[in-house]
Each structure stands twice: as C-alpha cells, then as structure tokens.
Amino acid sequence: MPEAPSLPFLQAWLIAESLRGCGDTALMQGFCERLLAQGVPVFRVFVGSDVLHPTLAARTLRWRRGSTLVDTDVVRGDGTDTAEAWRTSPFFAMIEQGSSELRVTLDDPARIERFPVLPDLKQEGGTDYLALMVPFGGMLRFGQVEEIYASFATDRAGGFRDQDIATLRDVIPALALALHAQRLGIASRTLLDTYLGCDAAERVLAGNIVRGQAEAIHAVIWSSDLSDFTRVADEIPPGAMLAMLNAYAEIVVDAITTQGGDVLKFIGDGILAIFRDEDPHGACGRALDAARAMLAKVDALKVRRRADGLPVTNVTLALHVGEVLYGNFGSATRLDFTVLGPAVNETARIAALSRSLDQRVIVSQAFAIEAGPRRRELVSLGRYALRGVARPQELYTFDVEAVAVA
C-alpha cells in the first residue's frame, strides 16, 4: 500500500504556485499530477465556479489522467443545455440540501441514475465519486462568486480509501483559495479592461494611479454620438432604449478596437476614443478605416432594425488630432483615466456642427493635413468658426467618390 499523501507538501506547493501567479490551468494540472503521485488514485478531477465577467457566467476545469486538461468558459445565456446540466448536477443537489459534501459509490444504480454525469464515469471504469464545496465569505465574495465546487472520481477497485477522503477534504480549502487568487487576478484585469479600456487598464495596473499623473501624447481624437438620441429615447420604453444604445455602441467600439484605438469613456450616448501611432499618418489612417467600417455596419443595423419595427438613429463622428494630457484626473478618492486639453475641446466643438452641416463624419483641418496620402479620401466642407477657438478652420468629410474607389 502506498504511503499516506504528504498534505504539507501539497498545500505548500499550492501556496507557492498561487503566489507565482501561474494561472488556474497550470495550477490545476500541477495539483492533479502531484495528488496522483502522492498516492490518491484519482482519474478525473473537476473544478468550477461562477466568474465576475461581463459576458461569461462560469469557468470550469476538467482533468483526466493521461489527458490534457480542458478549460471551459460558460457564456451568459448560453442556452438550455447548460442550465439543464447544472440543475441535474450533484452540485445543484448539494445547494438544495445545504450540504458541502456528497459522496456516491458508483456501484449503486439507484443513486448514480439521479445524476447524468455518474453513469458516464462508471462506464469509464469509475468506482467512487466525491463532490466538495468551499464557500467564500466577506471580501472574498464578489458578484455571484460565492464558492468553488470540486469533484474527484477514482477507478480504484473498492473506491476511495478513508485516508484518500481525508486528504481530499483537508487539501480542498488550499486548492480553492489558490484557484480563487488566480481568478481574482483575472477578474481585476477584466474589469479594468472593461471599464477603463485596455491601454488605460495596463497603465493603472502598472501603478499609474496618482492624481495628476499624466503624460503628454500626440493622438487622433475620436468623438462620436447618436443623432437625436434624446428624442428617440423619450418615445420608447427604457428597456428598448438600452437595447438600442447597446446595439449601436457595440458597432462603434468594435470598429475602434479592431483598428487599434482605445475607447476611453462613454459620455451618455457618446464615445470618446484615441488612436496613437509612431507614424502620424498611420494613426489617422486607422481612424479613417474605423470610421468607414462603423458607417457600413450602422447602415446594416438600421436595415435590420427597421425590418423588425424598431427605432433607428445615426452615428455622427468628429475626428481631430493634437497634443493631449493622458492620465489621472479628479478628486483624491474618485479618479478618471482620460484625455484633457484644448484639442479635446476642439473635437467636441467640431462634433456639435454635425447637425447644422448635415454630415455624419466631420474631420478637422489638422487631421486632414496629418492624414498624408489618405487626405485624398476627404473633401472640404468650407471654413467654419468654432466656439472658443480663435481662428476659423477648414473642415472635411469623406469624399463619396474617393471612398467608393478605395
């Protein structure tokens, strides 16, 4: 008979790997291999939990002896199959019973038929099954993430030994805490990316969190808005208004990020973004490509929404280029990571002319000059005085014929 597993070894390894930030898949793979090497005869291990993520509901890890670990992200609203699998799982039964442990010997037909996963394990040679739940309290609970569930199956004749069960019970808190630490790191980065944008999030995570800490950068400034959104929003229910806003925002954000732009903030129904490049012509070119993609997708969206009897609107866009301050602004306890400066204000003034000029896209003179070869895609709208700007400047929009040829 193999020696009893070394709990201090397993726990110390989990702590060390967790502190190293190895990620949940590497942690799970290494743990299962060491658990097996220490004499616990597992052939299948499963771990799952809810996650705090805008599009994902849960994340699971499945390890099988001799196979590659499989990680699965469960998408929110992923259909009835996922929901049904959860409702018929041993973990759901544990919640219903208020239990943190469930053991089923796989030679009991009446019990294994209750949970669809167990007959499959028995067919693979499984003899025993143990499910455990570790709850999180206080500051470790966030969103719907309140616990981690784990299950262990063995194909050893006679099932798990008492010492195997004792080992799994004792080591699962360390495993749960180590996995939770990895997912807290992932959740923090995801939330910062979601609410700040990828570049701003990286800067914040790198320590750029001091009020007034800002960098002067040269950037293309994108300011887009929805036409007549207030009027349309007043005419439809709140749910329909939010659905419309999200549908248009998804198109605009996708167009910006696909071309390497950074979305900085949503201002009501407006979006502020920047494009940067060592080559100024490159930043302008990517902004123009994003604008053209956005217009095409907005037109397609309008066709679909009209066919469904839904209200439609347009997106208007102003593009400018100049020096801005990029960093932290606000109070000591509430900061915003964004851009400030005269160039940002000028962009807002240009955007305000979209209705009077009846143009979906308006480009500044500075942008047109810096666009280099892409200047040929633009046509002049004439010279205009901008509120708060000393000198009138020439404004541009897409040259329809040039765009058709491009």
- Give the full edge-to-edge strand order of the sheet including 147-154: 70-75, 56-64, 42-50, 147-154, 128-135, 101-105
- Rounded CA-CA distance 335/106 in Å is 56
pLDDT at residue number 187: 84
- Which one-letter DSSP state was computed for residue 142? B
Q: Mind listing the pLDDT tens digit of every residue in the chain (406 residues)?
A: 444 446 788 999 999 999 999 999 999 999 999 999 999 999 999 999 888 888 888 889 999 999 999 998 888 775 556 677 788 889 999 988 989 999 999 988 888 888 999 999 999 999 999 999 999 888 777 766 688 999 999 999 999 999 999 999 999 999 999 999 988 888 888 888 888 888 888 888 888 888 888 899 999 999 999 998 888 888 899 999 999 999 999 999 999 999 999 999 999 899 999 999 888 799 999 999 999 999 999 999 999 999 999 999 999 999 999 999 999 999 988 888 999 999 999 999 999 999 899 999 999 999 999 999 999 999 999 999 888 776 888 999 998 755 443 3
Secondary structure (DSSP) of 275-334: E--SSHHHHHHHHHHHHHHHHHHHHHHHHHHHHTT-----EEEEEEEEEEEEEEEE-SS-
pLDDT at residue number 14: 94
pLDDT at residue number 279: 87
Tell me which residue has tokens 């915003």. 336
Tell me which residue has tokens 């784990």. 150
What residue spans define the domains of the chain?
7-195, 208-405
SS3 264: strand
pLDDT at residue number 78: 57
At 181, which amino acid appears? A
User: 7-195 has which CATH code?
Assistant: 3.30.450.40
Domain 208-405, second-level architecture: 2-Layer Sandwich (3.30)
pLDDT at residue number 79: 55
pLDDT at residue number 194: 86
100 within 8 A of 132, measured Cβ to Cβ: yes
How would you write 198-260 as a 3-class SS string? HHHHHHHHCCCCCCCCEEEEEEEEEEEEECCHHHHHHHCCHHHHHHHHHHHHHHHHHHHHHCC
